[in-house]
A and B are shown apart, each in its own frame.
Chain A
């Protein structure tokens, strides 16, 4: 009920009616795996530097028609963030602004469910921009591969089990080939692979083996 009301409110708040498609179920058997690289981890202060997204149709990852842009952040890149995603100031200097790339991204994702690693963070970052443009936030359902992984790995774990939800740890556990990390598109592709593998495990009712790990690091970071 609450969800319905929120939707109604958003519908009437939509600034640009040509974006009504964001509310329509297109009846496609597709989801979109998405990843944003940002200047930092604080959605209020930090900005998007790049966005990568791929559509997943049933068991296929549509890498041939991927979405991949580097944009110019509103603020200067900090040394800290450059170290993580290796996008330097000069690379984004002539990049377009996120606002100018947003229409293409919104058309790309439509109302398809969004799949991501720690997807709530990416959605928060995007919503900041979507709100600025359309007066609404994204209506898409979200699927977090962390949750899917937790479900297949730790949901039956005895209390006290150390939990490792790091991106690299999930990749390794699922034996997925490592791509160069902290590239938005590569991360979106890796996430898409995680999604398909985990969905398959679930459909077969299979679980991932737990090894007694002694020293798993505390908690994930993007």
Chain B
């Protein structure tokens, strides 16, 4: 009920509008006088406390650890584990909002950004993962309830405190272990590779420095029977990336954050091997599925979207190349160059949306060979779940699988036919890259196209006009974002309003100025290098594109999970956090400015 509750205050800024409203409706307010205990040490809590006014001291026994003020919240551990690591005592007249435990647990499950606040960066990945396994409660708990002993622990290696840091480095090398336990009389400490390089390189300590002078003797430890979840809380609380693991009073190993990630992360390196070893089209099928599955996995691991796209493109090309080797008859293998185009060519495809591919031939091949290849190649890709290209830009279409001479004639007729379809064909082709076969064939066709179009301002203008295709929609959305910030049920079509205008505008300018690069990011760099666009603006444009691609990928993954394919390019503004709305607004502003640049360069307003 209290509208005054500030949902802009972290971690609540990560909530969607409707989550924020729901939370507000469940809030109570509590009052504590000075000296009153809000949560006793070791006690549980039925609420997350968010301080409205006053001060709360966090204490370990009698020792004060921290003082919390307005907008601070406590205590995640008491809430989730039912046992506060320290006591929380009001030191002034204190009012707190009380968020019920159930509400917090639901939000942790539903909103990974919110969960991150509780379990740090790492655990966000865990809960993201759990969330994507589908059935809420069970899976979050499954992951978080694994025991420390279930992970692959690093062995315990001891080194004497009097040994030199040079000895320590050698020992790490010999034992392939980055963490050594240091025995120094009664004390036991830890020294890591990072400690060594810091002392040797940054602080220029001599290599004879004794290990005990650089080791840490405040070891944070977990029991091997503890939950992963508890280890995460400890890492978060103490801001460390590794913990010592104890069992029966003995050190039995170390646990690093990266090991926890290993519990859930997949292994990208496996796929190329699987493609390599394939002996038939059927063998390729699981690899094709893995490529798609790992997109979601890499995204969960916070890999940047352009890197995901690059890895995916690389693997897809390996897949196509192998498939080509199985399907193409000798005549086509000898004369052909298989190309991929569009987003696949620009290395911007993550979730498969279509297949844009073609075949250029150095000379004519027997018609029956070509017919069989067209049929089998397309059928195989369909089997691998590559959706057919809506514009029929596929090997299966004779226009896109012919001799390079024939294709150049085709390009000419497209240049001379000023309709949308020709413009789209030319645009998609300009993004082509060779996958296998003689790349010179593609280069011939491309340079023919550049010569046909370069400096043809009237044609380029018609070509450029496509960026205004969806202008109405995005202008009104922009206006409404500016106006509301917070409410409203508007949606943004991320491909039309964001990705496409940038990709296409950059493509037009690239054709115009003879830029050869195929990825949009590289093209932007090239345009900036030639001063076609400003250096700073180029940076803005790249950030905007990366942001749109990220959002697009997110919607695509959601659409895949929910089976609502029609939502794959849709972003619901109300589901964005306030920070994301700001980013979105900035990105749309950049796009708008870019449209204007393209429009004025090609005098579009005059047409």
Residues of A within 8 A of B (CB): 54, 59-64, 66, 68, 174-177, 179-180, 185-186, 189, 192-193, 196-197, 200, 203-204
Contacts and interface: CB of A to CB of B under 8 A. Distances in A.
Contact of B2 (A175, A179, A200): A179
Nearest to A174: B93
B25 interface: yes
A70 B34 CA distance: 37
**Taking each of A59, A175, A189, which has the highest tally of chain B beta carbons within 10 Å of its own beta carbon?**
A59
B1 interface: yes
A177 B28 CA distance: 15
Interface in B507-540: none
B29 A60 contact: yes
Contacts of B29: 60-61, 63, 189, 192-193
B93 A197 contact: yes
A63 B95 contact: no
9 contacts: A60-B31, A63-B2, A63-B27, A64-B25, A64-B100, A176-B95, A186-B3, A186-B4, A204-B33
B481 interface: no
Contacts of A175: 53, 93
Contacts of B95: 176-177, 193, 196
**Taking each of A60, A61, A180, A192, which has the highest tally of chain B beta carbons within 10 Å of its own beta carbon?**
A61
A63 B28 contact: yes
Contact of A64 (B3, B28, B31): B28
Contacts of B193: none
CB-based closest 5 A-B pairs: A196-B31, A61-B29, A200-B33, A66-B1, A63-B1
B26 interface: yes
A180 B4 CA distance: 8
B64 interface: no
Given A176-B95, A197-B93, A200-B93, A64 B4 contact: no
Nearest to B99: A64
B98 interface: yes
**Taking each of A63, A175, A179, which has the highest tally of chain B beta carbons within 10 Å of its own beta carbon?**
A63
B32 A59 contact: yes
B128 to A, nearest CB: 29
A26 to B, nearest CB: 20
B1 A197 contact: no
Contacts, number: 62
Contact of A61 (B26, B30, B100): B30
B28 A61 contact: yes
Given A59-B32, A60-B28, A185-B1, 4 more contacts: A61-B29, A61-B30, A175-B53, A196-B95
Nearest to B38: A59
B308 to A, nearest CB: 42
B1 A68 contact: yes
A62 B31 contact: no
A177 B50 CA distance: 14
B570 interface: no
Given A60-B98, A175-B53, A197 B31 contact: yes
Nearest to B54: A175
A62 to B, nearest CB: 6
A210 to B, nearest CB: 18
**Taking each of B26, B31, B52, which has the highest tally of chain A beta carbons within 10 Å of its own beta carbon?**
B31
A61 B31 contact: yes
Contacts of B26: 64
Interface in B15-56: 25-34, 52-53
B249 to A, nearest CB: 43
Contacts of A63: 1-2, 27-29
A203 B32 CA distance: 12
B1 A176 contact: no
A33 to B, nearest CB: 11
A63 B24 CA distance: 9
A196 B53 CA distance: 13
Contacts of B2: 63, 179, 186, 189
A172 to B, nearest CB: 12
Contacts of B27: 63-64
B7 to A, nearest CB: 15
A200 B100 CA distance: 24
B44 to A, nearest CB: 17
Contacts of B52: 177
A195 B4 CA distance: 19
Contacts of B100: 64
Contacts of B1: 54, 63-64, 66, 68, 185, 189
A60 B27 CA distance: 11
Interface string B60-100: 00000000000000000000000000000000010100101
Contacts of A196: 31, 95
Given A64-B26, A193-B95, A197-B93, A179 B4 contact: yes
A134 B1 CA distance: 30
A59 B52 CA distance: 15
Contacts of A203: 33
A175 B69 CA distance: 14
A189 B31 CA distance: 12
**Taking each of B3, B25, B26, B95, which has the highest tally of chain A beta carbons within 10 Å of its own beta carbon?**
B95
Interface in B95-113: 95, 98, 100
Contacts of A61: 28-31
